[in-house]
Amino acid sequence: MGARAKLTVVGAGNVGASVAQYAVEKELGDVVLVDVLEGIPQGKALDLAQAGPVHHYDSRLVGSNGYDETAGSDIVVITAGLARKPGMTRDDLLFKNAEIVGAVVEQVAAKSPEAILILVTNPLDAMVQLAWQKSGFPPQRVVGMAGILDSARFRTFIAQELAVSVENVTAFVLGGHGDTMVPLPRYSTVAGIPITDLLPADRIEALVKRTANGGAEIVALLKSGSAYYAPAAATVEMVEAILKDKKKILPCAAYLDGQYGVKGLYVGVPVKLGRSGVEQIIEIKLTAEEQAAFQKSAGAVRELVDKLKL
């Protein structure tokens, strides 16, 4: 690695361009944007570079339709693929996005054999599993963004409900990034106080439901695409934790090898993110009910992975 870290973002659409924007605003490194659309990654890279003088960053930005420019990346974020339209679930994207992500990963892995891959394309957990297999990378270097976004949504709703700062709110969401995700109110707190002490059960239940439906709520509003500001912000938190070796505990889609009773599958759990990638899977005690919900969620991920014959 040179003096500056190198970040490649594949897919220069809504999420990818926002990842590039947030990353250079934090001066996390130089950024290569890749997309199949001619001119789009080049144009967005140039536009973002020209925001640098105003927003005080010196990161270099390059756009490309190929992978030569990506060689030697420290981190590759993959957002390439189709986004949801109203009425679609994330799972509806499975086969088309598997084709795209599979092809992207092969090219990325060949050019940047030491990179850490962060997957964003949906259906998330299945795409991470696919990327891990296609790359041949160790599981520590292939990880998916989902839990930070899901818990950021939960945190937003909790803060609004209690009229407190979002900064005071931590939230815990486990499981796959889909309808079966498992928000854990017991471990979700306001200034350290569990929300189970602050809110009645029916209000918590309503916020949990809204969180699980958080992506669909935005798809229904936007009509022609899915959420991207919060997904990009969540992704950049992972990029920063890795490049700065922060050892930050964050919920991510990580490879389970027996933890939480799941073996050989990517599912959302708390992990420690540092310069080596997923440095530890954090196991927390679950109640029987929470464990059952987690197993159900892992089962839903397993079904998709089986459909892809991985």
Annotate 232-259 with DSSP letters as a single string.
HHHHHHHHHHHHTT--EEEEEEEEEESG
Residue 63's SS3 state is strand
**Residue 215 or 270: which CB sits closer to ligand APR?**
215
Q: Which is nearer to ligand APR, 81 or 178 (CB)?
A: 81
Is residue 36 involved in binding ligand APR (CB under 6 A)? yes
Q: Could you tell me if 142 and 117 are in contact, meaning their C-beta atoms sit under 8 angstroms apart? A: yes
Question: Is there binding between residue 10 and ligand APR (CB under 6 A)?
Answer: yes
Per CB under 6 A, the list member of 1, 46, 103, 191 interacting with ligand APR is 103
CA atoms within 13 A on the CB side of 128: 30
Residue 13 near ligand APR by CB under 6 A: yes
Contact 2, 217 (CB under 8 A): no
Q: Alpha helix (H) ranges present in 37-146?
A: 40-55, 94-111, 124-135
Smaller CB distance to ligand APR: residue 83 or 252?
83
**Dist. CA 305–CA 303, nearest whole Å:** 5
Residue among 139, 185, 214, 231 that touches ligand APR (CB under 6 A):
231
Residue from 132, 154, 187, 228 that binds ligand APR (CB under 6 A)?
228
Could you tell me the smallest distance in angstroms from the CB atom of residue 127 to ligand APR? Answer: 8
> Tokens at residue 58, please?
């010196």
Contact 145, 238 (CB under 8 A): yes
Output the smallest distance, CB 177 to ligand APR, in A: 9
When asked if residue 104 is in the footprint of ligand APR (CB under 6 A), the reply is yes
Annotated catalytic residue 55: no
Neighbours of 52 (CB within 10 A): 16
- Asked if 12 interacts with ligand APR (CB under 6 A), we say yes
Work out the burial of residue 287: count CB atoms within 10 Å of its CB; fewer than 13 is exposed, 13-18 middle, 19 or more buried: exposed
Nearest to 12 by CA among 97, 105, 80, 75: 80
- Within 10 angstroms of residue 288's Cβ, the number of other Cβ atoms is 7
User: Hey, which residues between 196 and 225 contact ligand APR (CB under 6 A)?
Assistant: 225
70 binds ligand APR (CB under 6 A): no
Is residue 80 part of the contact set for ligand APR (CB under 6 A)?
yes
Number of residues that bind ligand APR (CB under 6 A): 28
> Is 37 one of the binding residues for ligand APR (CB under 6 A)?
yes
**Which is nearer to ligand APR, 80 or 171 (by Cβ)?**
80
Q: Which two tokens stand for residue 259?
A: 């933890």
Catalytic residue among 155, 177, 272, 302: 177
Binding flag, residue 11, ligand APR (CB under 6 A): yes
Nearest to 177 by CA among 143, 132, 221, 139: 143
For the annotated catalytic residues, the residue numbers are 177
- Residue ranges that bind ligand APR, judged by CB under 6 A: 10-16, 34-37, 79-81, 83-84, 93, 97, 100, 103-104, 120-122, 225-226, 228, 231
